[in-house]
Amino acid sequence: MISRILSLVIATCMASGLATGQTSDKELPSAPSATAEQNSPEKSPPPAAQEAPPPKAHPDNELKPGDNTKPESQAPAGTASDKAGAAADPQQSSSDGKSSASANNTASSPSPLVSAPQQPPGPALVTPPGFENQDEARDPAATITIGVNEVRVIFTVTDKHGRYIKDLKKTDFRVIDDNKPAQEIRSFHAETDLPLQVGLLVDASNSVRDRFKFEQEAAIEFLNSIVRPRYDVAMTVGFDSTPDVTQDFTDNTEELSRGVRALRAGGGTAMYDALYFACRDKLMKQPQVGPVRRAIILLSDGDDNSSHVTREEAIEMAQRAEVIVYTISTNVTGAKGKGDKVLERIAEATGGRAFFPFQIRDVTDAFGSIQDELRSQYAMTYKPSDLAADGHFRTIEILAQEKGFKVRARKGYFAPKR
């Protein structure tokens, strides 16, 4: 009996304990899950759960100004080689799609025409032929681009005795642009000390063999006297049937002297090709920081028999490159021939001057006169009255108010083209 009572008591206690444990489990709150906590309206999401902002491109991957700039010595801004260089830059893209698209758009857009090329230190920007936008870097390019519709021209004034007049003011001149008075002369000043970029082109064909040696020595003397270290540069080019650069642009007169002495006579005469080459492929691509004076001294008899371009095409390229051409005839016959007339035409069209030193000792005097003229010029910027972006050639006529004064300048320029 007693054992039965004990068994009932034990069974009762066990049932009571089990019931108590189940109740306790139901009353204990379960741990909130991460999802439940994020969805709770009373609590803000923890930082780790917030939407991450788009990743920023690393600074090293950003396209920087000038990354797609090509050196002026390679090609003018806007040419095919520039576009090829720009197409390669998009490879430097940022990590997100938008940054990459922006980089591609920037790299593929053509560089501005008046470009200073962020440039080869060399050619820094040059104003397009005949025009100047002084607020932008400029870059030598065959196509003319203007930002302010201004034309820049360099000219020389002499009296009836051929002496240079150096103390005139802008009120002493009138400008006729394409047969109409210019709207306004924007700037005017004497240019007696501009940096020079000079190309010496020497006819090395068989037709000039007679006094070739003397002309070489006269040219060396000229370069030694006109090129100032760290300020002016010059190059030497010999030509027969093809042009040959015996010394590229430098301010080192010893190297220029060696370049002149390296010239060798022989072959045909491709004078127009040589002039075209020197303007388009050398002077227009020569680095330029600020205004400079570009000039070519051309020694030849003027008889061209091998060129692929015409005389007028060579003149046009010189005008586009803003190059003044001075010609020195090597004709020794004592009378002006057909070649001399060609040399006169080239010099006159570009604002230069033709020299005919029929006696060998006069060659040195011709070089001396060119040196004097390069240091005795004026620079003027004016606004035409009706400049149209049609690409046509427009004439320039600068008239001195004083009778007896003669103004010599290039005959015109090519308007921009849309």
Q: Please give the Cα distance from 220 to 260 (Å, whole number).
A: 7
Do 364 and 396 have their domain in common? Answer: no
Do 323 and 353 have their domain in common? Answer: yes
pLDDT for res 69: 39
The reply to whether 142 falls in a domain is: no
pLDDT for res 8: 58
Sheet hosting strand 184-191, strand order edge to edge: 184-191, 377-383, 151-158, 406-409
pLDDT > 90: what percent of the chain?
Answer: 42
pLDDT above 70 (res 129): no
pLDDT above 60 (res 109): no
Q: Please give the Cα distance from 199 to 156 (Å, whole number).
A: 20
Do 265 and 315 have their domain in common? Answer: yes
Query: Taking a C-beta distance cutoff of 8 angstroms, is the pair 266, 205 a contact?
Result: yes
State which residues form the domain around 72.
62-108
Do 212 and 266 have their domain in common? Answer: yes
pLDDT for res 62: 40
The reply to whether 89 falls in a domain is: yes
Convert the pLDDT of each residue in 322-333 to its tens digit.
999 999 998 877
pLDDT above 90 (res 116): no
| Mean pLDDT, residues 129-152 taken together | 46
pLDDT for res 330: 86
pLDDT above 90 (res 277): yes
CA 73 from chain center: how many Å?
A: 8
Q: 332: closest CA among 210, 215, 216?
A: 210
| Mean pLDDT, residues 290-302 taken together | 90
Convert the pLDDT of each residue in 364-409 to its tens digit.
899 999 998 988 899 999 999 988 888 889 999 999 999 999 999 9
Q: Please give the Cα distance from 242 to 198 (Å, whole number).
A: 20
Lowest mean pLDDT among 107-116, 250-259, 284-293: 107-116
When divided into structural domains, the chain yields a total of 3
Contacts of 277 (CB under 8 A, 6+ apart): 237, 243
Higher per-residue confidence, 207 vs 259: 259
- With cut-offs at 50, 70 and 90, classify the pLDDT of residue 27: very low
pLDDT for res 268: 84
Give me 107's structure tokens: 């790299």
The reply to whether 331 falls in a domain is: yes
Convert the pLDDT of each residue in 1-15 to its tens digit.
555 655 555 555 454
Do 176 and 240 have their domain in common? Answer: no
Cα torsion 32, 36, 42, 44 to 10°: value is 100
Do 177 and 245 have their domain in common? Answer: no
The reply to whether 313 falls in a domain is: yes
Most confident range, picked from 76-90, 132-146, 349-363, 391-405: 391-405
Do 255 and 387 have their domain in common? Answer: no
pLDDT for res 267: 78
Query: Taking a C-beta distance cutoff of 8 angstroms, is the pair 390, 374 a contact?
Result: no
The reply to whether 275 falls in a domain is: yes
Query: Taking a C-beta distance cutoff of 8 angstroms, is the pair 279, 321 a contact?
Result: yes
pLDDT for res 418: 74
How many alpha carbons lie under 13 Å from residue 164 in its C-beta half-sphere? 16
Higher per-residue confidence, 62 vs 350: 350
pLDDT for res 12: 54
Using DSSP's 3-state secondary structure scheme, residue 77 falls into: coil
Q: Please give the Cα distance from 55 to 398 (Å, whole number).
A: 62
**What's the mean per-residue pLDDT of the chain?**
73
Give me 315's structure tokens: 């003149």
pLDDT for res 115: 33
Using alpha carbons only, give the angle 355, 360, 361 rounded to the nearest 5 degrees: 90
pLDDT for res 200: 97
pLDDT above 90 (res 52): no
Do 232 and 308 have their domain in common? Answer: yes
| Mean pLDDT, residues 93-107 taken together | 40
Do 208 and 178 have their domain in common? Answer: no
The reply to whether 55 falls in a domain is: no
pLDDT for res 198: 96
Query: Can you tell me which residue has the tokens 């049932």?
Result: 15
| Mean pLDDT, residues 84-102 taken together | 41
Do 285 and 407 have their domain in common? Answer: no
Do 250 and 318 have their domain in common? Answer: yes
pLDDT for res 332: 76
Convert the pLDDT of each residue in 223-233 to its tens digit.
999 999 999 99
Do 253 and 215 have their domain in common? Answer: yes
Higher per-residue confidence, 109 vs 175: 175
Q: Report the CATH number that the domain containing residue 309 is assigned in CATH.
A: 3.40.50.410
The reply to whether 25 falls in a domain is: no
- With cut-offs at 50, 70 and 90, classify the pLDDT of residue 180: very high
